[in-house]
A and B are shown apart, each in its own frame.
Chain A
Amino acid sequence: MSRNLVTATINGDEVEFSCSTGQTLLEVLRGELYLTGTKNGCGSGDCGACTVFLNGRPVNACLVLGVEVGGANIETIEGMAKDDQLHPLQQKFLDHAALQCGFCTPGILNMAKALLEKNPDPSESEVRFGLAGNLCRCTGYDKIIRAVLDAAAEMRASGS
């Protein structure tokens, strides 16, 4: 299969990579760029473990092709903390013990971030429905929801 040369911005850096036409963005991130923070849970858009931002919108990287992201802006979990400061969501997940095995965590953090960008003051129900595309098998979701609501409150208070 022919290889394509693609240039995109990933976590603020301009990155050039090559990929075959059928390769998904998830395969590119993990297999070509070794950004393994974005996880492969199902490969078919049903679990959300591969959630990344594409031009500011949360998407499943397993349902995006590498060839189509030329010129696009991509943000992965590796870009969530800034310098040595964890994002409030990352901090609250630790404070609330909102992860056990941690595998779904990068995807959920990204989706929660997207949710709060659109709706900074969500109800419990809005958080639950907003995260419905992210499967977690360990926590039963309880502490995740609390962490997101707490992070939302902190982010509103600090004006971020």
Chain B
Amino acid sequence: MADLRYESPETIEAAVALLAGEGRTARVFAGGTDLIVQMNEGLVEPSLLVDIKKIAETRRIIIEPDQIRIGAAVTGAELGENQQLQAMWPGVVEAVELIGSAQVQGRATLGGNLCNASPAADSVPAMMAAGARVVIAGPAGTRETPIGEIPTGPGRTSLAPGEFVVAFLLPKPPARSGDAYLRFIPRTEMDIAVVGAGISIVLNSDGTCAAARMVLGAVAPTARLVEAAPEILVGNRLDEPVLQALAGAARATCSPINDKRGTIEFRTQVAGVLACRVAKIAWQRAEKN
């Protein structure tokens, strides 16, 4: 077994140099709640762990004039304690807070949840619905890209060697907007999502929908945009025919698998149910804003 090394750089540049220098056997180490489990199971055998938790940019939540910048190594617990974020993007916060137990929340990060690239990651549908972008540092410098570009399949991302996610950017929510995230699990806690649904909507002054984005998780290799959702919702209210159409669109978006967590039939059915429920919650939040 290769000798495993550990480094904890204090700057982005130092981290990039370490990652680029080591190549594909280096792993970014933040909360470790996925990585350590995978190392123990022998699924991954890194040669170098690059701990990014000492890099200041990865640990801060900054409310900027036009956006919110959340460091990739901010923990779920810290996110949940940020009242401004809670008020602006309750759906994103509630999604992150569903990850694991309170103990896991003390360690799990947005960056890890995204880059572990589980199809069932809870934060991803909510972040995608919110229109999040990620800030990536790499040998070629820094770039930004929509969050949905990152996961490419189960356990795989589009990050190039030497790149890592430094921060997440969330737009400031416009007036009369609301977001929400729901997931289905067989117990009340501690399960991986069988289906996840995130939504963000903006309402017109007359109460009809002005804009909408809905994303499903755990029903495809990566989180999936429900492309028909804006068409169904924009200009309308959330009445029975609209809900039924939304449920149908959600079901049609699914291409899930049968596995130990759910069957194709069950996931598809529940995706429709969650689509309606999450839309109602976001709508209520938007009406209050």
Residues of chain A whose beta carbon lies under 8 Å from any beta carbon of chain B: 1-2, 4, 20-22, 24, 43-46, 48, 51, 54, 57-60, 62-65, 67-68, 111, 114-115, 129-130, 132-134
B5 contacts across to A, CB distance below 8 A: 2, 21
A-B contact pairs, 14 of them (CB 8 A): A1-B1, A21-B4, A24-B36, A59-B103, A60-B104, A62-B36, A63-B31, A63-B36, A65-B6, A68-B6, A114-B102, A132-B188, A132-B190, A133-B100
A117–B32 alpha-carbon span in the complex (Å):
25
Separation in Å of the B33 CB from the closest CB of chain A? 5
> Which B1-28 residues have C-beta < 8 A from chain A?
1, 3-6, 8
A1–B1 alpha-carbon span in the complex (Å):
8
Name the contact of B103 in the complex, choosing from A20, A24, A129, A133 (C-beta under 8 A). Answer: A133
B4 contacts across to A, CB distance below 8 A: 1, 20-22
A114–B103 alpha-carbon span in the complex (Å):
10
What is the 8 Å Cβ interface bit string for chain B, positions 38-74, against chain A (1 contact, 0 not)? Answer: 0110000000010101000000000000000000000
Instruction: Decide if B230 is an interface residue (CB 8 Å cutoff).
Output: no
Separation in Å of the A107 CB from the closest CB of chain B? 9
A21 touches B49 (CB 8 A): yes
The chain B residue with its CB closest to the CB of A70 is B8
A48 contacts across to B, CB distance below 8 A: 101, 103
Separation in Å of the A46 CB from the closest CB of chain B? 7
What is the 8 Å Cβ interface bit string for chain B, positions 139-174, against chain A (1 contact, 0 not)? Answer: 000000000000000000000000000000000000
B29 contacts across to A, CB distance below 8 A: 65, 68
